[in-house]
A and B are shown apart, each in its own frame.
Chain A
């Protein structure tokens, strides 16, 4: 397995399906069985209705950028060498939204509204959390 050079999230019993799913290149998200909300970041209960009946489902990872920033000033060392990185707010076609990194060789082409998809394996293994690229 590729060892990530980046800071890693703490693996807990709550977020294990997300972290372990991404090690297979899959985006796994919690869905509330009561109110149908798609939850991110992972929690022990639904923040909308407090139901603990949560189900992990695979998400296609297709979505679009709502807004984004090219981040030049980094707080963690490995990213400084790669700056500017792109941090984006992404809404997902299958439900849910998150802030995540977008990887691209053409950073100037990134725009709000742009379609994105998950970075596929084996490249995905470099990144500690689900990471996106402009849709092909």
Chain B
């Protein structure tokens, strides 16, 4: 069980860029600065740190503390790619509860563009470099093309149905000045975009970019009522299903029931879902595996719902990575930062009416035939 008295007390983002204008620490610093301002605490009150950033190289959580002049009693660097930063938040709550730190800065970011991203992907994991790159695998889109085709052929899912995710997220992004991709997008635009890894086209794929996201975890009584976020349940499962190539499911299916049981709420009680949308097919699989519909029925679910902030299933209410851009380690925090914004009633033009609670999921570590990392957290306003 997670503490009811410790949670998210502040959030902040750095402005995103299509090409890096500064180093990773520059982006992380801007997000951190905005986050302590949002929490109403000073930098010197931070004594815990978690970092997940794409371009850290040999830097660690401790050298990140050096850069930012922080003296910390808890330091953490996540390893589970897009699911890691999300779980860092739960681990930070546990660390504060255990007395290991008072206030923890959890941040993530990236200083990259498409070219830098491709260099990184070519040297991603040893299994990818040795057994996929020599085949011309095309990075994550090649594998997800295989996964999407399998889902389409097994269950009859169509590109028109998956397009709902990209098109409605873009509608949300048009109300988010921080999103990099804000031009109008119709279903025809989505269907006829440039091929990347058939059946995936351009708007099925996130745009690598630069930026950062940050959250402050501390005692909820530090912030006024309605400005804190309590974690109700948080679970992760990696490398499931073991050894299966191009699975149309992931670790979420293992812990879904436990996640909702521990939170004490049902699916219908969720006011929004922010998932890790590197590709619409993976967003669709998270909707299925987290139980909003049965396996194989996400096509009909997407037919029946609108995913806009004011729709029947508010989803990635800031535009998701597909429209905001994927700023490396930011991406695993993007959904939680947006959730915090919504639960504090600071969603502006894209505010979900009376948002009380929601679910955020993470995904990543695209290795040999399988995105390995999966996590999800249910949160509520405190």
- List A residues at the B interface (Cβ < 8 Å): 6-10, 15, 40-41, 47-48, 66-76, 78-79, 82-85, 87-89, 97-101, 112, 127-129, 131
Residue among B136, B138, B150 with the highest chain A CB neighbour number at 10 A: B136
Complexed CA–CA distance, A10 and B199 (Å): 31
**Pair A101/B135 contact, Cβ less than 8 Å:** yes
What 1/0 flags go to B145-158 for Cβ under 8 Å of A?
11101100100000
- Tell me whether B198 is interfacial, beta carbon within 8 Å: yes
Distance of B196 from chain A, by nearest CB (Å):
5
| B134→A99 contact, CB < 8 A | no
Given A47-B242, A70-B197, is A87 in contact with B150 using a C-beta cutoff of 8 Å?
no
Which of A76, A84, A101, A128 counts the most B-chain CB atoms under 10 A from its CB?
A: A76
* Known contacts A73-B196, A75-B121, A99-B369; A129/B135 CB under 8 A: yes
List residues of chain A with CB within 8 A of the CB of B368. 41, 99
List A contacts of B134 (CB < 8 A): 6-9, 127-129
A10 touches B129 (CB 8 A): yes
Report how far A18 CA is from B122 CA in the complex, Å: 21
Closest to A128 in B: B134
Task: Collect the chain A residues with CB atoms within 8 Å of residue B150's CB.
Answer: 66-67, 89, 112
Q: Are A7 and B133 in contact (CB under 8 A)?
A: yes
Q: Which residues of A contact B145 (CB under 8 A)?
A: 68-71, 87
User: A99 CA to B131 CA in the complex, in Å?
Assistant: 8
Shortest distance between the CB of A72 and any CB in chain B (Å): 5
User: B118 contacts which chain A residues (CB < 8 A)?
Assistant: 75
Give the B interface residue count (CB, 8 A). Answer: 39
**Chain B stretch 183-197: residues in CB contact (< 8 A) with chain A:** 194-197
Cβ of B194 to closest chain A Cβ, rounded Å: 8
Residues of chain B with a CB closer than 8 A to A74's CB: 136, 138
Max chain A Cβ within 10 angstroms of own Cβ: one of B122, B135, B195, B242: B135
- A112 partner residues in chain B, CB cutoff 8 A: 149-150, 153
| Beta-carbon contact of B246 and A89 below 8 Å | yes
Determine if A82 and B142 form an interchain contact, defined as CB atoms under 8 angstroms apart: no
- Is there contact, CB below 8 Å, between B149 and A71? no
A73 touching B135 by the CB < 8 A rule? no
Alpha-carbon gap, A112 to B147, bound state (A): 12
A113 (CB) vs chain B CBs: closest residue: B153
A99 and B197: CB pair below 8 A? Answer: no
Taking a contact as CB atoms under 8 Å apart, the answer to whether A41 and B153 are in contact is no
Pairwise interchain contact A67-B149, C-beta atoms closer than 8 A: yes
A62 to chain B, nearest CB (A): 18
The contact of B199 among A69, A78, A79, by CB within 8 Å, is A69
State whether A10 and B130 are in contact (beta carbons under 8 Å apart), knowing that A68-B146, A71-B197, A73-B197 are contacts in the complex. yes
CA gap between A68 and B245 in the complex, in Å: 12
